[in-house]
């Protein structure tokens, strides 16, 4: 696991964009289909803006890239402004020029969400592997919407959100926690581990405990983010606030400056 500790959220956005662009470009150069795994929420937004800038100003290519979301609320009608499929088109994929037919997410509006979850897992495994998966982490350590207690081997399924996560996400629903759905369809932790490269970004003090537990604590279902320790290729990018409880902070601050060019991402 490579942990990169940087001064500001803007620095994190640039480095996450470097890591994502590096993995996508390498996959495009190998030929064949490229699958990009996307998180929603606020953590990756600066990185997404930086990727868009590079696409517009520097010609960073995403031709033919297919995108898969981590998760989706159950019960929001298709086209709801906070449905994750809608959010990711608004924040990233439309402006990157990705064909909406190639931007996939679980069908949270399906009459049978359990079936929709299994269908999404099958669709992802037929298209995959995901070349690079962008991740955020919840204040309680959730990854995707795998809340604490989720099996480290879980596959895509319906989960119930904790009240903390519903409160945290009420900001996207005009502050109305009652409007935040109780259920979601999320890739499982085992599903997420199937990606070739995992890139997690976290900023702000509210994430400090979850980052410390995920990166330096024991591997445990009580902190789903700790499952990253089982994957061979992980980049964790945090700002000083999110990294403020990391014991090895001094080491992580030096990672980027001393990276060998050949190491890449």
**Binding residues for ligand F6R (CB under 6 A):** 39-43, 70-71, 136, 138, 142-145
- Closest residue to ligand F6R, based on beta-carbon distance: 136
108 vs 136, which CB is nearer to ligand F6R? 136
- Nearer to ligand F6R among residue 58 and residue 189 (C-beta): 189
Smallest distance from ligand F6R to CB 71, Å: 5
What residue has token string 């480095």? 15
CA 100 to chain centre: 19
Residue 212 C-beta: closest distance to ligand F6R, Å:
16
Q: What's the closest the beta carbon of residue 115 comes to ligand F6R, in angstroms?
A: 21
d(CA 85, CA 66): 13
Q: Which of 252, 196, 208 is nearest to 3 (CA)?
A: 252
Q: Pick the closer one to ligand F6R by CB: 160 or 254.
A: 160
Residue closer to ligand F6R by CB (options 29, 130) is 130
- Nearer to ligand F6R among residue 23 and residue 187 (C-beta): 187
Q: How far is the CB of 106 from ligand F6R (least distance, A)?
A: 11
CA dist 106 and 191 (Å) reads 13
CB of 184 to ligand F6R, least distance (A): 9
Match 């606030």 to its residue by tokens. 241
Cα–Cα distance for residue pair 62/48, rounded to 1 Å: 13
Three-class SS state of 252: helix
- Give the HSE-up count for residue 65: Cα atoms under 13 Å, Cβ half-sphere: 28
């Amino acid at each position: 696991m490579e942990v990169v500790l940087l001064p500001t959220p803007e620095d994190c956005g640039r480095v996450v964009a470097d890591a994502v662009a590096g993995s996508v470009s390498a996959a495009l150069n190998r030929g064949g289909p490229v699958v990009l795994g996307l998180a929603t929420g606020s953590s990756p937004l600066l990185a997404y803006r930086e990727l868009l800038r590079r696409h517009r100003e520097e010609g960073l290519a995403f031709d033919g890239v297919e995108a898969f979301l981590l998760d989706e609320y159950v019960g929001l009608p298709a086209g709801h402004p906070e449905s994750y499929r809608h959010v990711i088109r608004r924040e990233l994929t439309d402006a990157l020029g990705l064909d909406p037919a190639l931007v996939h997410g679980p069908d949270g509006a399906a009459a049978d969400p359990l079936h929709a979850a299994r269908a999404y897992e099958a669709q992802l495994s037929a298209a995959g592997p995901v070349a690079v998966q962008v991740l955020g982490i919840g204040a309680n350590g959730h990854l995707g919407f795998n809340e604490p207690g989720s099996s480290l081997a879980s596959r895509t399924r319906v989960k119930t959100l904790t009240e903390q996560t519903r409160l945290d996400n009420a900001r996207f629903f005009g502050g109305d926690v009652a409007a935040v759905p109780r259920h979601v369809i999320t890739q499982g932790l085992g599903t997420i581990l199937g990606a070739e490269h995992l890139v997690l970004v976290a900023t702000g003090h509210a994430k400090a405990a979850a980052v410390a537990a995920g990166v330096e604590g024991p591997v445990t279902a009580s902190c789903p983010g700790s499952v990253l320790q089982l994957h061979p290729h992980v980049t964790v990018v945090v700002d000083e606030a999110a990294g403020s409880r990391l014991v090895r902070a001094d080491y992580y601050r030096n990672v980027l400056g001393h990276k060998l060019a050949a190491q890449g991402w």
